[in-house]
């Protein structure tokens, strides 16, 4: 079992990575917990035993369940059951579950402990780590949330063997991101080491900037367009998973960085090569509207001073503010050129 510490003073915790990690739940439960509310989804076929009295609370499937109504329903269920601050929440599932359960944990009784049992690749390398919790609004992704660190995270790589192929591929989009944050050669590592390496990188960034005052924003590399695409997908009838959107966002970020003179053609090709090696898309979905995407990107949480992006450059990946709409529109148009080159 690989143990990765997330060092945050009094809020420090460990991430356990490896086959069978879910069976370590009892040993990572907060001391003195009397009961546990297990939040999961009907499609998550992963059994856990918190070692105390517990009750299951189901939420819906997909991004539609990641909303304020779901949080309210959970908290009302907790209240009816009598959950107190002396108890805990256990989130068992992927990114939707860890985000929703984590946000509910931050708000219920002004904060109760939460342990994440991450069951998807995306959750194990990203969503369950670092304490960022959020739900969506019709106006955009992750616009309502809180920073609420878990008491522990369990990344059981054994459960990934039964993931549907499309769910596993979605997680590969986040893996692709880490290739540009210092994790070159990930594809050549055994699965548990691959997950642990991503966790180590995220843990180091979170420890340096827990509440995203600056450096932590680099973990959103590729996500500005990705979140816009996920919101826009329903407008154009596109079936787009988060990791696929991130992959497209990575290529777009490289094209925008090249247009701004931050990187060269070879570095753009590096992005496309990493994305396509994982079998992920590198082009905008059919019917995508550039004006709509730009408007959605302007609502991004990082956008405090005009259009804001995380972009590659000579100093590595960093936040770039005040990007002109004309450059963003041109980079979106460049996506078509990348697609033609790939074909």
Pick 2-208's CATH classification: 3.40.50.300, 3.40.1390.10, 3.40.50.1970, 3.20.20.20: 3.40.50.1970
Instruction: Quickly name the fold that domain 221-342 has.
Output: Dehydroquinate synthase-like, alpha domain (1.20.1090)
Which residue among 116, 227, 259, 272 is the active-site one?
227
Which residue among 116, 177, 197, 216 is the active-site one?
216
Residue 271 among the catalytic residues: no
Question: Which sequence spans correspond to the domains of the chain?
Answer: 2-208, 221-342
In contact, 136 and 67? CB cutoff 8 Å = yes
Residue 227 among the catalytic residues: yes
Tell me the CA distances in angstroms from 8 to 32, 118, 208, 227, one per residue in order. 22, 21, 9, 28
Model pTM score? 0.89
Which residue among 22, 197, 202, 241 is the active-site one?
202
Which residue among 194, 241, 242, 302 is the active-site one?
242
Strand locations in 183-341 (E): 307-311, 318-323
For residues 81 and 75, give the distance between their C-alpha atoms in angstroms, rounded to a whole number.
10
For residues 215 and 100, give the distance between their C-alpha atoms in angstroms, rounded to a whole number.
25
Residue among 225, 281, 275 nearest 253 (CA): 225
Which residue among 66, 116, 132, 177 is the active-site one?
132
Residue 14 among the catalytic residues: no
Residue 55 among the catalytic residues: no
In contact, 234 and 287? CB cutoff 8 Å = no
Supply 240's token pair.
């787009």
For residues 308 and 299, give the distance between their C-alpha atoms in angstroms, rounded to a whole number.
10
Residue 223 among the catalytic residues: yes
In contact, 197 and 300? CB cutoff 8 Å = no
Residue 216 among the catalytic residues: yes
Residue 11 among the catalytic residues: no
Which residue among 110, 139, 161, 340 is the active-site one?
110
Residue 212 among the catalytic residues: yes
For residues 290 and 237, give the distance between their C-alpha atoms in angstroms, rounded to a whole number.
16
One digit per residue, the tens of pLDDT, for the chain of length 343 reads 999 999 999 999 999 999 999 999 999 999 999 999 999 999 999 999 999 999 999 999 988 999 999 999 999 999 999 999 999 999 999 999 999 999 999 999 999 999 999 999 999 999 999 999 999 999 888 999 999 999 999 999 999 998 999 899 999 999 999 999 988 788 889 999 999 999 999 999 999 999 888 889 999 999 999 999 999 998 898 889 999 999 999 999 999 999 999 999 999 999 999 999 999 999 999 999 999 999 999 987 666 667 999 999 999 999 999 999 999 999 999 997 655 555 4
For residues 199 and 3, give the distance between their C-alpha atoms in angstroms, rounded to a whole number.
10
């Amino acid at each position: 079992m690989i143990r990765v510490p997330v060092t945050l003073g009094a809020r420090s915790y460990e991430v356990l990575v490896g086959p069978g990690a879910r069976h370590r739940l009892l040993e990572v439960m907060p001391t003195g917990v009397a009961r546990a509310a297990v939040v999961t989804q009907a499609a998550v076929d992963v059994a856990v035993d918190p070692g105390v009295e517990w009750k299951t609370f189901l939420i819906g499937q997909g991004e539609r369940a990641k909303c304020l109504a779901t949080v309210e329903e959970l908290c009302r269920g907790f209240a009816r059951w009598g959950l107190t601050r002396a108890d805990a929440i256990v989130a068992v599932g992927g990114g939707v579950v860890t985000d929703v359960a984590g946000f509910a944990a931050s708000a219920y009784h002004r904060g109760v402990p939460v342990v994440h049992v991450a069951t998807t690749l995306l959750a194990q390398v990203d969503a369950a780590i670092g304490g960022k919790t959020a739900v969506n609004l019709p106006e955009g992704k992750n616009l309502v949330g809180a920073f609420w660190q878990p008491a522990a995270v369990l990344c059981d790589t054994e459960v990934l063997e039964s993931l549907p192929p499309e769910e596993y591929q979605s997680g590969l989009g986040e893996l692709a991101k880490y290739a540009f944050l210092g994790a070159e050669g990930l594809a050549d590592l055994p699965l548990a080491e691959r997950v642990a390496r991503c966790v180590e990188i995220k843990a180091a960034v979170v420890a340096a900037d827990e509440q995203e005052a600056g450096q932590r924003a680099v973990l959103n590399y590729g996500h500005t367009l990705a979140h816009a695409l996920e919101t826009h997908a329903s407008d154009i009838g596109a079936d787009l998973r988060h990791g696929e959107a991130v992959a497209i966002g990575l290529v777009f970020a490289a094209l925008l960085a090249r247009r701004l003179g931050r990187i060269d053609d070879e570095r753009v090709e590096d992005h496309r090569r990493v994305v396509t090696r994982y079998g992920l898309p590198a082009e905008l979905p059919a019917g995508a509207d550039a004006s709509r995407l730009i408007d959605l990107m302007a609502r991004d949480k990082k956008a405090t001073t005009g259009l804001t992006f995380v972009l590659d450059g000579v100093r590595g990946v960093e936040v770039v503010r005040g990007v002109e709409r004309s450059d963003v529109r041109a980079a979106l148009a460049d996506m078509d050129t990348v697609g033609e080159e790939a074909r």
